[in-house]
Amino acid sequence: TCSLLRSPKGFPELKNDTFLRAARGEQTEHTPVWCMRQAGRYLPEFRETRAAQDFFATCRSPKLCCELTLQPLRRFPLDAAIIFSDILVVPQALGMEVVMVPGKGPTFTEPLKEVEDLLKLRQKVDVTAELGYVFQAITLTRHSLEGKVPLIGFSGAPWTLMSYMIEGGGSTTMAKAKSWLYRHPEASHRLLRLLANVITDYLVGQVAAGAQALQLFESHAGHLGPELFQEFALPYIRDIAQAVKSKLKEEALPLVPMIIFAKDAHYALRDLARAGYEVVGLDWTIQPQEARAQIGKHVTLQGNLDPCALYAPKEKIGELVKKMLESFGTQRYIANLGHGLYPDMNPEHVGAFVEAVHAHSRHINKH
């Protein structure tokens, strides 16, 4: 139950810290598992809770976010919860309007077109004023979890958010956003720096509110080649890790593990391994052994089953999970999908995935 508790501290004691131990590179009895988009439309109870609500109104309701975050944990023995929210709350905090259009997805009413449009953005963002509803949702959910599993907070990364702000929504080419990188490199850096500063404060605020790990989503990394990634994505990914950690120290907050998930960025794995994150998330297009070879033994890997594997019969899901665990090894590893769950997936198959990770990793660890 998600009843609003006033005191943010005095959180319940954590009972299952397997996910945090794996993130820090400590020994675990089983491989922990969670799923990107685990609080989502594949669950009938999610659709019921969300039915009458505007999407972003849901994001602004701590009680609903708490309920949606907890739903998958009532069904599956997942090892972590991730707060229900959206990466586009950050552009909203900068003063941009985003609406969820049925059948189309998130849409910006006035995307950035010209460099002058940057002047319309808030240059100083008070994250507590603009995004306090996310912090409340985290605090409430952390209490409501009753220490069952750790709670993950997250944000989109600067390039991914910039691309949405210029494209005005989803895009297959990101041509408008990429044209800024080539035509207006200085303005692009100004925007990316502004985003990085807000994201840093936002992530620190999430830890203050009770988040026990953080994931940064660079979902549109695949639209950049190595050169553009080196110039416009990686420096900000690095800066965010460093700035978040130093602010957490300054404010005497827990130093929580951080995960970087840069989708389709195989060309940058070595750099991402040295970017200051405890965990590197992988999509399904890379071989586990190849990723381990590039990233080395001092960073935990997360991923990377093809989400579409969940359409397979349950026995087949078990076989694929076993193979994945044998390839990654059961230690310094967090099992996940290589991207989020899709709305038409069968919840029972998600359960089969979670159970297979636990069963096979325990078996491998014993033998």
pLDDT over 90 at 7, yes or no: no
Gap between the Cα atoms of 241 and 254, Å rounded: 14
Task: Give the pair of three-digit tokens for residue 350.
Answer: 């998600």
Q: What is the pLDDT of residues 152-169, one digit of tens each?
A: 999 999 999 999 999 999
Supply the DSSP symbol for 266: G
Catalytic residue among 17, 21, 42, 50: 50
Gap between the Cα atoms of 243 and 201, Å rounded: 9
3-state SS assignment for residue 53 = coil
pLDDT at position 2 is 74
Q: What is the pLDDT of residues 262-309, one digit of tens each?
A: 999 999 999 999 999 999 999 999 999 999 999 999 999 999 999 999
Average pLDDT over residues 110-139: 98
| 75 part of the active site | no
Task: Give the pair of three-digit tokens for residue 229.
Answer: 């990634």
3-state SS assignment for residue 173 = coil
Is residue 37 within 8 Å of 341, Cβ to Cβ?
yes
% pLDDT > 90, the chain: 96
pLDDT at position 92 is 98
Non-local (6+) Cβ contacts of 338 within 8 A are 282, 283, 284, 285, 303, 304, 305, 306, 307
Nearest of 286, 337, 283, 361 to residue 35 by alpha carbon: 337
State which fold the 25-366 domain adopts.
Answer: TIM Barrel (3.20.20)
Q: Rounded to whole angstroms, what are the CA distances from 112 to 91, 109, 116, 198?
A: 11, 10, 9, 18
Q: What is the pLDDT of residues 55-80, one digit of tens each?
A: 999 999 999 999 999 999 999 999 99
Catalytic residue among 17, 21, 79, 164: 164
pLDDT at position 51 is 87
Gap between the Cα atoms of 83 and 53, Å rounded: 18
Catalytic residue among 86, 190, 193, 306: 86
Print burial letters for 300-337: b (CB count within 10 Å at least 16), e (below 16): bbbbbbbbebbeeeeeebbebbbebbeebbbbbbbbbb
Task: Give the pair of three-digit tokens for residue 347.
Answer: 């919840």
Q: Residue 275 is which amino acid?
A: A
pLDDT at position 300 is 98
Peptide bond preceding 304: is omega within 30 degrees of 0, i.e. cis?
Answer: yes
Q: What is the pLDDT of residues 221-257, one digit of tens each?
A: 999 999 999 999 999 999 999 999 999 999 999 999 9
pLDDT at position 201 is 98
Length of the chain: 367
pLDDT over 60 at 5, yes or no: no
pLDDT at position 285 is 97
| 41 part of the active site | yes
Q: How confident is the model at residue 106 (pLDDT cuts 50, 70, 90)?
A: very high
pLDDT over 60 at 6, yes or no: no
pLDDT at position 8 is 53
Q: What is the pLDDT of residues 173-197, one digit of tens each?
A: 999 999 999 999 999 999 999 999 9
Q: What is the pLDDT of residues 311-333, one digit of tens each?
A: 999 999 999 999 999 999 999 99
Q: Is the pTM of this model over 0.85?
A: yes
Gap between the Cα atoms of 366 and 336, Å rounded: 22
Catalytic residue among 24, 41, 75, 193: 41
Gap between the Cα atoms of 141 and 81, Å rounded: 9
pLDDT over 80 at 9, yes or no: no
Average pLDDT over residues 340-348: 98
Q: How confident is the model at residue 102 (pLDDT cuts 50, 70, 90)?
A: confident
DSSP E strands: which ranges in the chain? Answer: 81-82, 98-101, 105-108, 151-156, 213-218, 258-262, 279-281, 300-305, 333-337
Is residue 198 within 8 Å of 165, Cβ to Cβ?
no
Print burial letters for 46-83: b (CB count within 10 Å at least 16), e (below 16): beebbeeeebbebbbbbbbbbbbbbbbbeebebbbbbb
Gap between the Cα atoms of 347 and 170, Å rounded: 26
**Average per-residue pLDDT for the chain:** 97
Is residue 345 within 8 Å of 35, Cβ to Cβ?
no
Catalytic residue among 21, 37, 142, 332: 37
| 37 part of the active site | yes
Is residue 160 within 8 Å of 91, Cβ to Cβ?
no
Gap between the Cα atoms of 115 and 117, Å rounded: 5
Question: How is the chain split into domains, by residue range?
Answer: 25-366
Higher pLDDT, 52 or 349: 349
